[in-house]
Structure 1
Amino acid sequence: MKGADLINTVLPEEVLVEILRRVESKPDLDSCALVCRKWNHIDRATRRTVKIAATGNADRLLASVIQRFTGLTTVFIDERHPSSSFYSLGLFTPSKQRRNSLSGSRGRNRNSPGSSSSSAEGTGIEQNYISDAGLSLLALGCKGLENLSLTWCPTLTSLGLVSIANNCKALKSLELQGCYIGDEGLIAIGQCCKLLRELNLKFCEGISDKGLIDLARNSDSLISLAISSCPRISDMSLQAVASHCHHLVALTLELDSIKDESLISIAKGCRSLKSVKLRCINVGDLALQAVGSFCASLEVLALHSFQGFTDGSLYAISKGCKNLRELVLTDCNLITDRSLEYIARGCTKLEHVEINGCQNIESLESIGRFCSGLRKLSLVYCSMLLKNAFIEVGRGCSLLQSLHLFDCLKIDDDAMCQIAVGCRYLRQLHLRRCNEIGDKGIISVGKNCKHLTDLSLQFCESISDESLFAIAEGCSLQHLSVSGCHEITNNGLTAIARSSPDLISLDISFLLNVGDIAMAELAEGCPKLKELSLSQCTKITDVGLTHLVKGCVELEICNMVYCPLITTSGLATIVSSCAKIKKVLIEEWKVSKRTRRRAGPVLTSLCTEL
């Protein structure tokens, strides 16, 4: 009945609460909170997660968030982003009286002597990073806090983290990145937060062995540990982890100081490990052989920049880790095709293989023969890889869904045809600088891979409109990048626009033969387009953008630097016609004063030196 509030009068409140809890999209939640006072009250009481861009009077902002949302369990604080983006998300919209009060207090703070906040030049925005006092407010206001992430908060010390430890006993996950928090804070977390399960330390120069050893002794519930670029952490800490954290499941280490002995201790003491990711230049065969001997549950192994281990390490992994599903090898120059053969024969459950910069890898024959469940294959900078490597992959890996080939110079059309014919469930194909792959290979993909939704052909110079015609005939894309494919024209993009109504992102940068016709076709056929990159498209003009905005009303990101025929007027068309626009990349001199006033936050990634 028109005018009747059936939802609030008939639907029980507990049912409405459960409905709002199941809304995953934050913009949708914000919209629900604006429906009426009752929904706003429920949203305040039930919202569990908030992300805060902390600069700009951060403590006051944090206090306002805590006061509004009383049931928070997950808080992300990231000082790399301006607070203006927080206000624009609708999380904190004070009343007129409150706005005037805050405005007045800001003015007094800026002008009063001895104020701790300083005005940013030309903006009037206070640059007051979150302090220990702000973190203490969070601890007192959110005692049910379970997950806390602090990113690049330079003024925080152990004092703030001690407050979290003393008040948030339910804390399960803690991430510290670029925070100079000392050992005392970490020790307090270990002593008070007995439910801690995940700890992530990145660029924490103030934490040493003392803090991590004490935490390890008190955190037998820890299941995930990640340590990256913490120069004061050594083998002693890992030996403590091995002695006390027997339930550890995931380990990520990027530490140059770690040696074989500490990882051997981890392998022996933490036999439930399922994920091991290492970037440790002083670790070699002995450590990895221990992982193979003692970690039978291992499912994910990622080894980056290793120069000290050989094929013998992966032989041990293949013998002991039969459940391995994901293998990532980056810049491991001592391994050969024999390593892949060991893994393929011993770990037949393998689903994801990524090889990056391993110059002695030439063949994938064993992967194709023995890993029939392979779903993702990524080969980057493998210059020695032969085209015949894909014959067995095409024959044996019929479930392959994602293929990435970057700078694989010897892969040609015949190899691509082998993949297309044998891997008909392919959904994602990313090629970059594979100049031996031309229309023949991509036409085969269009004919055989009907499930393809994500295609990238960056700087594959042999690709022309014929490829896009075949793709348009056989596939409906959601993501397409043909950046640097100089032979592509309006005709090829027209075919894509008419066949892919669900297209979300498109990159046509460096296409010199694409003009306004393509923009008009996109407006007509791709109403869901959100991301568009047309940098260095010299034939696209303001007229093309006028056509574009008529149909692509969902556009959020538009990159258009070095487009000589796009002027100040074209930029104004984008920012005024696209209500959801979030980011525009363009030369600074094309931004008028009016556009800057109207869409300042949208131009935050402005090119200032072009």
Structure 2
Amino acid sequence: MRGSDLINVVLPVEILEEVLLRVVGDNRDRDACSLVCRRWRPLERATRRSAKLPASGAGADEVVGLFAERFPALLDVSIDERLSADAGAVAGHASRSRRPGISSSPPGRPRRIYRMPRYSRFVSPHRKEQTSGADGMESTCLTDAGLANLARGCKGLEKLSLVWCSAISSTGLARIAENCKKLTSLDIQACYIGDPGLVAIGEGCKLLNNLNLRFVEGATDQGLIGLVKNCGQSLVSLGVATCGWMTDASLHAVGSHCPNLEILSLEVEHVKNEGVIAVAKGCRLLKTLKLQCIGAGDEALEAIGSYCSLLESLSLNNFERFTDRSLSSIAKGCKNLTDLVLNDCLLLTDRSLEFVARSCKKIARLKINGCQNMETAALEHIGRWCPGLLELSLIYCPRVRDSAFLELGRGCSLLQSLYLVDCSRIGDDAMCHIARGCKNLTEISIRRGYEIGDKALISVAENCKSLKELTLQFCEKVSDTGLAAIAEGCSLQMLNLCGCQLITDKGLTSIARGFPDIVFLDISVLPLIGDMGLAEIGEGCPQLKDIALSHCPGVTDVGLGHLVRGCLQLQTGQLVYCKRVTSTGVATVVSSCSRLKKLLVEETKVSERTRRRAGPILSFLYNGL
């Protein structure tokens, strides 16, 4: 009955807390719950589990302290200096006086384009560690004081991410270690944290199982060694990237103290064979390994193949010393391998994939990027020996020809996703082989496929009835004929036609009549489309949420009007370099799309009235920084 408060009368506190815990979506939904009544507000605060906070701006320390005071049950906190405390980045969090769903950005202010602060973070590792108050930086950034407030207020914290927090030091991290004994995940990116901070985490956070260090300049080997000596037994995942101080000494410690490590990601310069070998011998439970160590060679991967028989995912990046000998060792020892990524491994040849294909028959996902010595035979081996392949990605593989896909079509009938980028010798015949043999394809993404045209699309339309996502960027032979076949044979939800310059309004008509449930459409850089095509899209695609419509000289304000009258679900749009679109067209989009969250436009085409009305959702292209 109207006026009756049955929920608060009947539901006990415990049940209401469980209900609030299950509120999903963005935090504005939880904000709305907190404003229902006085009883709900403290309960919602007591059940808030995650937050993303700003680390720049004059009030950064105060904002973090306010959060820690109001939401003591936070378990997952991300603090990012690219978000500003004085730019409305904490809308719906710190202040509860606003109505839910209303942005905290002042009216008329466009959404901020975040850029890195001007001062340099990449200083010499020999510099004395920055502490609060050293150079006044604390007045505009989060400092150790703010981090200490968080540590004291949220002692149950389990996950902490610190991104580009330039003014914090080991002192702040030590406060986290002292107070947050339940911390299980720590992600530090581009923060000048020294050895004492890492050692303190090791001593205080014995439950830590996930550690990610990226651009952590203030530390040395001693910091990581001190950490793993104290909590290495609990570590399951470790990532170190672009930390110039890391050497084999750190990896020797990881191998000695982290027997339960399952995930390891290394992107470092000074590590050599000895360090990787030490990890292989000591971390025999490794399941996921990502390596970018230019100083390592075949001996390192031979050790992985010999000692890490449980390995399931392997990613090798930018190696100039690995040869076929490396993957031969992996193939012999890692029979459970399901995911293989090879990026710019210039010395690997077709023999490498032959070793893997014959021995690792569980391969499900394969990505080859810039391995220029791999030719057609490499993929033929995969087609013959890996029937469980689900995803295949080929990026800049200029020597692979159409015939490779004959074997893939015959042997990999379960293939679901295919990505082809800059594969200049792959054409219609290859796609026909795939389409006829891999009828379970749900996603095809082709970029700069200059030899792929309508014949390929017709075959896909006839055979791949489950296709949901199709990308054809700068496939210049694709025309309305192929698009009409796809529209008749498939039910796409996402379509990218950027740069397919033969597409006209007739092609857009096929889209409108064939894909009523499409939610994403990119029709940028199509010089032959105009207002008639947009009118068809507006009439036939009522579920469309995201559209990219840039560099289209034939589109005018009239076409935009027809589009937005029918596509009422639009949430994001790109509308730049359409020379016949004016401020009137932009205003029409803004006023007609009540669900719009982001619109990329040219600043010169935004009137003052539109700016006042929709400033928070506007993003502008700038010519310079």
**TM more than 0.5:** yes
Partner Cα distance (2:227, 2:305) in 1: 27
Are 2:439 and 2:465, in contact at CA under 8 Å, matched by a contact in 1? Answer: yes
1:585 aligns with 2:586: no
How far the C-alpha of 1:211 sits from its partner, in A, is: 0.5
1:281 is matched with which residue?
Answer: 294
- CA displacement at 1:423 relative to structure 2: 0.9
Q: What's 2:321 paired with?
A: 308
Distance in 2, matches of 1:23 and 1:89, equals: 18
Report the alpha carbon displacement of residue 605 of structure 1 after superposing the two structures with TM: 4.0
In terms of mean alpha carbon deviation, does 412-421 or 127-136 score higher? Answer: 127-136
Q: Which runs of 5+ in 1 are unaligned?
A: 97-102, 104-115, 119-125
Asked if the contact 1:64–1:92 (Cα under 8 Å) also holds between the matched residues in 2, the reply is yes
Residue 448 (structure 2) aligns with: 433
Q: Which one is further off, 10-19 or 368-377?
A: 10-19
2:277 and 2:451 map into 1 onto residues whose CA distance is 45
**1:158-180 Cα deviation digits (max 9, x unpaired):** 11111100000000000000101
Q: CA deviation at 1:94?
A: 4.2
Q: Indicate the SS of the match to 1:441.
A: helix
Alpha-carbon distance between aligned partners in 2 of 1:216 and 1:185, rounded to the nearest angstrom: 13
After superposition, where does 1:596-607 map in structure 2 within 5 Å? Answer: 596-607=611-622
Q: Distance in 1 between matches of 2:458 and 2:90?
A: 45
* 2:275 alignment counterpart: 262
Contact 2:328 2:355 in 1 (8 A): yes
By how many angstroms is 1:129 displaced?
Answer: 1.4
What's the CA shift for 1:6?
Answer: 3.6
Report the equivalent of 2:20.
20
**1:583–1:605 CA contact under 8 A, matched in 2:** no
| Cα shift at 1:505 | 1.6
> Could you give the per-residue CA deviations for residues 556-602 of structure 1, whole angstroms, max 9, x where no partner exists?
22111110111111122223332333332222222223333333332
Assess, with a 3 A threshold, how the Cα gap between structure 1 residues 532 and 313 changes in structure 2: closer, same or farther. Answer: same
Distance in 2 separating the partners of 1:392 and 1:13: 62
Distance 1:235 1:609, change over 3 A: closer
1:609 and 1:244 mapped to 2: Cα distance? 49
Residues 1:352 and 1:536: Cα distance change in structure 2 (over 3 Å) = same
Q: Which moved more, 1:522-531 or 1:392-401?
A: 522-531
**1:588–1:609: 8 Å Cα contact kept in structure 2?**
no
- 2:168 match: 156
Q: CA deviation at 1:547?
A: 2.1
Alignment counterpart, residue 223 of structure 1, candidates 236, 254, 259: 236
Aligned counterpart, 2:511:
496
Residue number in structure 2 paired with 1:112: none
Distance in 1 between the 2:499 and 2:240 partners? 38
Equivalent of 2:394, from 367, 376, 379? 379
Are 2:139 and 1:138 aligned?
no
What is residue 82 of structure 2 aligned with on the other side? 80
Q: Give yes or no for contact 1:53–1:85 (8 Å, CA) kept in 2.
A: no
* Matched residue SS, 1:254: strand
Amino acid at match of 2:69: Q
SS at match of 2:477: coil
1:598 counterpart SS class: helix
Query: What's 2:43 paired with?
Result: 42
| Per-residue deviation, 1:40 | 3.3
* Counterpart Cα distance in 2 of 1:85 and 1:530: 27
Distance 1:18 1:161, change over 3 A: same
Q: CA offset at residue 242 of structure 1?
A: 0.6
8 A contact 1:87–1:93 mirrored in 2: no
| 3-state DSSP of counterpart to 1:281 | strand
SS in 2 for 1:91: coil
Residue in structure 2 matching 1:595, options 586, 591, 610? 610
Structure 2 Cα separation of the partners of residues 43 and 518 of structure 1: 48
SS in 1 for 2:94: coil
Q: Does 1:234 align with 2:247?
A: yes
Q: Deviations over 1:132-168 (max 9, x none)?
A: 1111110011000000001011111111111100000
Pair 38,545 (structure 1): closer, same or farther in 2 beyond 3 Å: farther
Classify 1:450/1:5 alpha carbon distance in 2 versus 1 (closer, same or farther; 3 Å): farther
1:4 corresponding residue in structure 2: 4
Q: Does 1:486 find its partner at 2:487?
A: no
Aligned counterparts of 2:538 and 2:41: Cα–Cα separation in 1: 37
| Alignment partner of 1:342 out of 334, 350, 355 | 355
Name the residue aligned to 2:117: none
Aligned to 1:91: 93
1:510: which partner in 2?
Answer: 525
Determine whether 1:174 maps to 2:186.
yes
2:375 matched to which residue of 1? 362
Pair 1:190 & 2:213 matched: no
> In structure 1, the residue corresponding to 2:529 is in which secondary structure?
coil
After TM superposition, the runs of 4+ consecutive aligned structure 1 residues lying more than 6 A away are none
**Deviation of 1:45 (Å):** 1.2
1:550 CA drift (Å): 2.1
Q: Aligned match of 2:265 in 238, 252, 257?
A: 252
User: What does residue 421 of structure 1 align with?
Assistant: 436
Secondary structure, aligned partner of 2:172: helix
Provide the rounded CA distance (Å) in 1 between the counterparts of 2:208 and 2:415: 38
State the superposition RMSD in angstroms.
2.1
Q: In the alignment, which residue of structure 1 is the partner of 2:130? A: none
Q: Which amino acid aligns with 2:557?
A: D
Letter in 1 for 2:162: L
* Equivalent position SS for 1:210: helix
Structure 2 counterpart of 1:521: 536
Q: Which moved more, 1:554-563 or 1:218-227?
A: 554-563
Are the equivalent residues in 2 in contact too, given 1:535–1:563 (CA < 8 A)? yes
Change (3 A) 1:17 1:517: farther
Q: What residue is the counterpart of 2:103 in the other structure? A: none
Structure 1 range deviating more: 340-349 or 464-473: 464-473
**Partner secondary structure for residue 295 of structure 2:** coil
How far did residue 504 of structure 1 move? 2.0
Of the candidates 338, 343, 346, which is equivalent to residue 333 of structure 1? 346
Cα separation, 2, equivalents of 1:250 and 1:44: 35
Counterpart amino acid of residue 52 in structure 2: K
The TM-score, its normalising length taken from structure 1, stands at 0.92
Query: In structure 1, what residue type is equivalent to 2:418?
Result: L
Q: Matches of 2:11 and 2:543 in 1, distance apart? A: 34
- Give per-residue Cα distances to partners, 1:349-406, cap 9 Å, x unaligned: 1100000000011121111111111100000000001111111111111111100000
- Indicate the SS of the match to 2:304: helix
Map 1:537-556 to 2 at 5 A.
537-556=552-571
Q: How many residues align?
A: 584
| Distance in 1 between residues matched to 2:54 and 2:535, nearest whole Å | 38
Tell me the SS of whatever aligns to 1:195.
coil
Unpaired runs of at least 5, structure 2: 99-105, 107-132
Quote how far apart the aligned CAs of 1:606 are: 3.1
> Deviations for 1:77-97, whole angstroms, at most 9, x for unmatched residues?
11113346755742233438x
Out of 47, 65, 68, the position equivalent to 1:66 is 68
Structure 1 residue 513: Cα displacement: 1.3
Aligned AA (1:93): S
Secondary structure in structure 1 of the residue aligned to 2:269: coil
Note closer, same or farther for the CA distance 1:376–1:86 as it changes in structure 2 (3 Å cut).
farther
Within 2, Cα distance between the matches of 1:11 and 1:551? Answer: 43
SS in 1 for 2:226: helix
Q: Is the 8 A contact 2:54 2:90 kept in 1?
A: no
